[in-house]
Amino acid sequence: MRAINTVWTILAASLCFACDDPEPRRDAKVAAPETSALVDACMIDDDAVACGGLESLTSAGVDSRCGTHPTKDQVEAMELDFSARRAAAARIGFVPRVIPTYFHVITDSVGNGKVAPERIEQQLEILNAAFVPAGITFSLAGVDVTANDSWYAMNYGTTAETEAKSALRQGGAGTLNIYTAGLGGGLLGWATFPWEYSWAPEVDGVVILDESLPGGASAPYDLGDTAVHEVGHWAGLYHTFQGGCGGDLDDGGDRVADTPAEAQPAFGCPEDVDSCPMPGKDPIHNFMDYGDDACLDHFTHGQVARMEYQLTVYRDEV
């Protein structure tokens, strides 16, 4: 009996890992402009991959692919909480799920940022095609349009982001809210992770640059895969390069066994890159890497399993 009580004490402590810091997102690592590092690597080191990445970002008019960059401490907190919840669950069963999805189109006061209905429909089709292997489909629950200059230029972790989401967000933990806007900080998008909902439900969701939707002006990021990438975060996935070559399943990696280790994000579509000594070439075609939209085409079986667990543990609404 003492052993059982000890186990549950450990589980309870792990489940309240974030209790000591109810707002860990305040210390979130905001993505630094990737163009700066790519300029050095391209011009000084004559790195072809860096040059391709610089060309892609410059062409799209952005400085960074994604603003979702948890710190090592945040990853540790998430994984401890996730492991404890999985262990405490009596049984986890996976069934196909339909996720109600709201699009919140934010424009400025003169109408910049308007998104035609057919582009939203196309984006939903892109999401469904990408997530069907995970047994996930997205059903359009509503679209609203709001004109607000401050919200239109929102950046990650700002008051504008919190105000916009607090005013517009619909549904509970299992409802996907996608916000489109002009964005500040030169970002294509960012997202919250599933575990964040328990202490910050008002900011839950995905934010994407309006021109990253299909048919937008942010080529080569104009085929809708920015939303796929960010929804991957919303469903519990890290970047494939999380932790770099030093990351593994237990310490700093993406916690997925079938995504090869990757030293840094891949830009463009650099075939046959192998940046780490561990087995496997860099997963440049994975939705959770940084390639051009045309280069990205799949999640792995391990990523699908992780999303199923994360959604069941954190986003099932009872």
The 10s digit of each residue's pLDDT in 252-302 is: 589 998 999 899 899 999 988 998 888 889 999 999 999 999 999 999 999
Q: Which residue has the higher pLDDT, 249 or 211?
A: 211
- 10 Å CB burial of residue 15 (0-12, 13-18, 19+) is middle
Average pLDDT over the chain, rounded to whole?
87
Using DSSP, state whether 147 is helix, strand or coil: strand
* 144-177 residue pLDDT tens: 999 999 999 999 999 999 999 999 999 999 999 9
- 10 Å CB burial of residue 318 (0-12, 13-18, 19+) is exposed
Contact 254, 238 (CB under 8 A): yes
Q: Which residue has the higher pLDDT, 3 or 195?
A: 195
Give the domains, in start order, of the chain with CATH numbers.
72-89+97-239+293-314 (3.40.390.10)
* 33-70 residue pLDDT tens: 788 888 888 888 888 888 888 889 998 999 999 999 98
Work out the average pLDDT over 74-101: 88
- 10 Å CB burial of residue 293 (0-12, 13-18, 19+) is buried
State the pLDDT at residue 118: 97
* Predicted confidence (pLDDT) at residue 127 exceeds the cutoff of 70: yes
Q: Quickly state the pLDDT bin for 248 (edges 50, 70, 90).
A: low
Pick from 188, 200, 198: nearest CA to 310: 198
User: For residues 238 and 252, what is the distance between their CA atoms, to the nearest angstrom?
Assistant: 10
User: For residues 223 and 208, what is the distance between their CA atoms, to the nearest angstrom?
Assistant: 13
pTM score of the predicted model:
0.89
Residues with active-site annotation: 230
